[in-house]
Structures are given as C-alpha cells and as structure tokens.
C-alpha cells in the first residue's frame, strides 16, 4: 500500500539564497511521497533562473507576472495540489527531516485529526538558533480541537511555541473547504482562519514536539508599526473577524473559545502595532468589547483566562498518538 501524497506549497519572493536552504530541508525529508509546488510571486532577483534548472516529476513551478498578495498566491498554488495532505512552507523557513513523516503518522492514526503542529524554533538570517522554547508537552499527543484551541488562544506564551501558518499540517480537502487563506490587510491574522475553520466539534489537533519547524526572524517582524501600516493592520483585524464568523461553525456557541480568540488577536495587534495603538489611544479593553459585539452581537465581558499551559504541559491530554 502506497503512502499518502503530501503537497508542500512554497511561496517565494526575492529570496533565492534562503529559498535554496528551504528546498534542501524538503529534499532531506525521510518521507518520499511528496509533491512540491513552488509559486514564484513576481520575483526580480535570480529566483526565476534558479527555478528553471530544477527538474523533477514531483515538482511544479508557477511564475507570477507580478506580485500578488501572499494569501492569493498561496490559495492559487493550493488549487494545483493533488496530495491528501497539505503544508505551506515559507521560502525562508526550514523543517526537520522527520517533520512530514511524523505528521503523516499522527494523521493516519486518527482520521478525526484535522490540524498538525510541531515545535517552533527561532533562527536568524544565518540560520543560527535565536531561541528554543520548551515544547508544549514531552511527547506527541492528540486532543479535541475546541479544548486545544481555547487553551492556545488564551495562553500568553503558547504562540511562541508553534506557528499557525507556515508550519501547520492539514488535510487538503478540509483546508480547501473552509476557503484556505483569506486575503486580509494584515497577513498574520489570516493564518488563524483555516486553523479554526477546518475543525468541527468532533475534530482533533495533533502536536508532536519532535517535529521541528525553524522559523526565521527578520528585523521587520520585530518592529512596532505606526502610521499607515498600523492603520492597515487595524483594518485587517476587523476583516479577520468578519471572515472568522463564517467558519466558526460548531464553535459559534462557545463563549470561552470566542473570548480566547478575541484576546489572542488583540495581543497580536497591540504587540505588532504598539505605536499606532498609542497614537490612536486605543484602549484594549474597549476594543475587546467592540470585537465581541462585532463577532456575535454580545457585549458580555468574558472572564480573563489564565495561561493554561503550566510548565510546558497541557492541562488536559487525550491518549498520545504514535509518532
């Protein structure tokens, strides 16, 4: 019996030196049935020339005549995919050699798993490790999606341990069914939509600390934006909640999950656009009430959630999946 095919989408733009490293991490996977789709999003460096020399039966390269929004580029590339599973990998990030095999093992062991995540490690432009957080758990495990997501969004630190766009492993059919990556004014909000949207009341999340995702930090990612970029991100925040309403499904009645999700997005927004928040005198508590009303028409104030990951361990675990 052949192993299921995994489609890896690599969107790229003007980073050929880093793209080469990313592709090498894919070729070093200990899993063979991989389909690679590289979407060159209007690069003006040597990317096109480099890609022209790549030849493989399992490789598809797409060349854009001009640069599309990241999400539009990813969504179009995903429509060309044929694999049972899907992962999006940025052109400047890396995955450990066992990443794909570990994820496939977890998904194949439990058909209700819709989301798979590994441990995030921060690296710099020279691929040197900047920071390694403790894993969320010592071993791989599977947990119902609502409980896992509620704890993740409520935590002040869990987002440092994983990344929900370029490291998330999905069943491709579920990712497509929920609409993939929406095109928002702030890309770091968009990743959360399919992360929530692929799940139902019955679905589960698979986490495996041994599957490492190396997330490359850039100076621009560390800045606290002001002015026009802050305003654009603020618009993206409301675009996000308009879109998330459409995919909540079974979770639309979960006050705990929705409250945790609102707090998470506000934390991400104020953390990245601190100067804009100060200049516009945006009160996070007042914004929270506005977003809650925007999300479901309720002005109810939810109780603040504690950090439910204590000592790097989940509060509740189901039986561990084989990995």
* C-alpha–C-alpha distance, residues 204 and 307, integer Å: 21
Evaluate whether 246 touches 133 at the Cβ level (below 8 Å).
no
pLDDT for the residue 215: 87
pLDDT for the residue 127: 86
90 C-beta neighbours (distance < 10 Å), count: 23
Cα–chain center distance at 214: 13
Extract the tokens encoding 262.
Answer: 């609102």
Residue appearing with tokens 């489609």: 7
φ/ψ of 52, rounded to 5, equals -65, -20
Q: Would you write out the chain's pLDDT as a tens digit for each of its 323 residues?
A: 578 999 999 999 999 999 999 999 999 999 999 999 999 999 999 999 999 999 999 999 999 999 999 899 999 999 999 999 999 999 999 999 999 999 999 999 999 999 999 998 889 888 889 988 788 899 999 999 999 999 999 998 888 777 655 679 999 999 999 999 899 887 778 889 999 999 999 999 999 999 999 888 865 443 344 568 889 999 999 999 999 999 999 999 999 999 999 999 999 999 989 999 999 999 999 999 999 988 876 434 444 444 555 444 444 333 333 33
Extract the tokens encoding 33.
Answer: 């049935």
* C-alpha–C-alpha distance, residues 225 and 74, integer Å: 25
Beta strand 169-171 pairing with 129-132:
unpaired
Which residues have C-beta within 8 Å of that of residue 81, sequence separation ≥ 6? 7, 9, 35, 37, 172
Which residues have C-beta within 8 Å of that of residue 64, sequence separation ≥ 6? 39, 40, 41, 42, 73
């Amino acid at each position: 019996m052949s192993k299921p095919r995994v489609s890896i989408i690599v969107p790229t733009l003007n980073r050929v030196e880093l793209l080469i490293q990313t592709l090498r991490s894919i070729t070093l996977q200990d899993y063979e049935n991989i389909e690679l789709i590289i979407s060159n999003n209007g690069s003006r460096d040597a990317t096109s020339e480099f890609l022209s020399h790549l030849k493989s039966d399992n490789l598809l390269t797409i060349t854009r005549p001009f640069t599309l929004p990241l999400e539009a580029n990813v969504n179009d590339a995903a429509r060309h995919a044929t694999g049972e599973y899907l992962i999006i990998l940025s052109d400047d990030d890396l995955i450990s050699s066992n990443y794909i095999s570990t994820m496939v093992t977890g998904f194949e062991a439990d058909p209700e798993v819709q989301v798979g995540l590994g441990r995030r490690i921060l690296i710099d432009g020279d691929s040197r490790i900047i920071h390694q957080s403790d894993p969320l758990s010592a071993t791989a495990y599977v947990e119902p999606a609502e409980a896992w997501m509620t704890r993740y969004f409520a935590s002040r630190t869990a987002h440092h341990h994983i990344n929900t766009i370029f490291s998330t492993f999905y069943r491709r059919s579920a990712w497509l069914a929920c609409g993939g990556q929406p095109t928002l004014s702030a890309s770091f909000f968009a990743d959360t939509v399919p992360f929530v949207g692929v799940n139902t009341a019955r679905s589960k999340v698979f986490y495996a600390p041994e599957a490492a995702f190396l997330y490359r930090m850039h100076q621009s990612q560390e800045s606290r934006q002001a002015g026009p970029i802050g305003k654009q991100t603020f618009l993206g925040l409301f675009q996000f909640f308009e879109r998330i309403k459409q995919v909540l499904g079974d979770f639309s009645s979960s006050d705990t999950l929705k409250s945790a999700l609102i707090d998470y997005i506000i934390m991400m927004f104020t953390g990245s656009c601190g100067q804009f928040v100060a200049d516009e005198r945006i009160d996070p508590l007042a914004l929270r009430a506005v977003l809650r009303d925007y999300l479901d028409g309720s002005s109810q104030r939810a109780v603040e959630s504690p950090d439910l990951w204590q000592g790097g361990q989940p509060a509740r675990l189901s039986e561990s999946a084989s990995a």
